[in-house]
Amino acid sequence: MTTFESISRPTDEEAWLATMAPPLAAPARHEFDFDVAIVGLGYVGLPTALAYHASHSRVLALDVSARRIDTIRAQGADLLDSDRLRLAEALDRPDFVLTSDPEQLRRAAAVIVCVPTPIDEHLVPDLSILRAACTTILSTVTPGQTLMLTSTTYVGCTDDLLVKPLTEMGLSVGNDVFVAFSAERIDPGNASFGHDEVPRVVGGATPQCEEEATRLLLRYVTTVHRVRSLAAAEMTKLLENTFRAVNIALANEFADICSSLDIDVADVIDAASTKPYGFMPFLPGPGVGGHCIPCDPHYLLWQLKRSRVAAPMITQAMTEISARPHRVVDRVQTVLSQQGRGMTGARVLVVGIAYKPDVEDLRESPALEILDELIRRGARVGYLDAHFDSVALAGGSSLAGIVDPVAFDADLVLLHTRHRDTDLSWIDDRQIVLDTTYRGVDVAHRVNL
């Protein structure tokens, strides 16, 4: 079996196991109580843990935050409906254990790291959480375990944080312990693709590491695509999200071009999407949020800067993406001015502040920057989003959500994120509506960004 092909899991478990190569050597195998441990129970880790459990694996689910563990036990985590059902079932089962004790990792045959890898205010990768997680699993590593990173990072990170330290500890990677990288592919709030349906890409530190990692992934996914190295797997994730970033920047630019020519950009994108090949729709908006697109390309740019390798297209795309929230505020000021209003004292209501519809997720949301800058320019600002009672803004200040949009009496309504249950019937003809979603067609008197 080559090391760069896609493998699907047969329905016959014994037939599947027969396709996998036997271990190259026979390390001292430990009797493990759990098939897999998941480290980090956020938007990636918790659904991953539930997917493994639903596929009949014994799961140890670990998060260092006792508060997060309590939230999960109380079934208060933000999950798809299907995952809520899985969680309710798992909590009643002895083969699904929630813990904040890292020592329990010794009991798992495999350990999968699903922790955040953000960037700091200088757009420099912040690897502190990932380093801490890797330090923890190194301190509890047990012969026979498979260790897998899923967090997006720079090329070579798995080697730096796991392979080299394990070797220095006297363990033979590929014999005593197995190391792999397989980036997560979970889209929060999107129920269109089941966790088990999305192919996973995996690379191992050695051929045997690749075999063990493939076995691990095929416990719950139907297809695994194997690449020839850890580095290739790490770079695959960077390409996926950089591709999205560049195309979103292009969509935003087309939105501005169409606006200048008095063309509805959504109409144009819908029309172009009818082509069955050579085109993939990307939608313009007020900016880009979430963990992936605003952050991941900067891991690549940071690494390339160290190597003095230029990436002008990626650099420009990320510059344009970061500037988009400022463009929104500039547009608010222009629209108000066209109506004979200044920014100072104008009442601006932002509808929806999550980074995408139907998630309780503020990570990197453009709305936070938009709210902060509107306030800085003198506007009287409120927001309407049932997912958040209040939000923290720059400088430590906070802003409470609006309960009654009619009472707020906005001069301008800014459509930022439209959740499924968003009701806009309260908007009256006196109010200016600036639509940064480009999809608010039910609001007759809206203007696009």
Residues involved in catalysis:
292
C-alpha 109/C-alpha 73 separation (Å) is 24
Q: For Cα atoms 126, 128, 134, give the angle at the middle one, nearest 5 degrees.
A: 130
- Token pair, residue 296, equals 């991941």
Q: Within 10 A of 104 (CB to CB), how many other CB atoms are there?
A: 17
C-alpha 362/C-alpha 121 separation (Å) is 16
DSSP 210: H
C-alpha 141/C-alpha 42 separation (Å) is 23
CA 428 from chain center: how many Å? 36
Residues, the chain, total?
Answer: 449
- What torsion do the CA atoms of 124, 153, 32, 220 make, to the nearest 10 degrees? 130
Backbone angles phi, psi at 281, to 5 degrees: -75, 135
Give Cα separations from 297 to 158, 227, 235, 271, 306 (angstroms).
Answer: 18, 21, 10, 29, 14
Sign for the pseudo-dihedral over CA of 419, 423, 429, 432: negative
Q: Which 3 state secondary structure label does DSSP give 177?
A: strand
Report which of 232, 190, 235 is spatially closest to residue 210, judged by C-alpha positions.
Answer: 232
β-bridge pairing 146-149 and 59-62:
unpaired
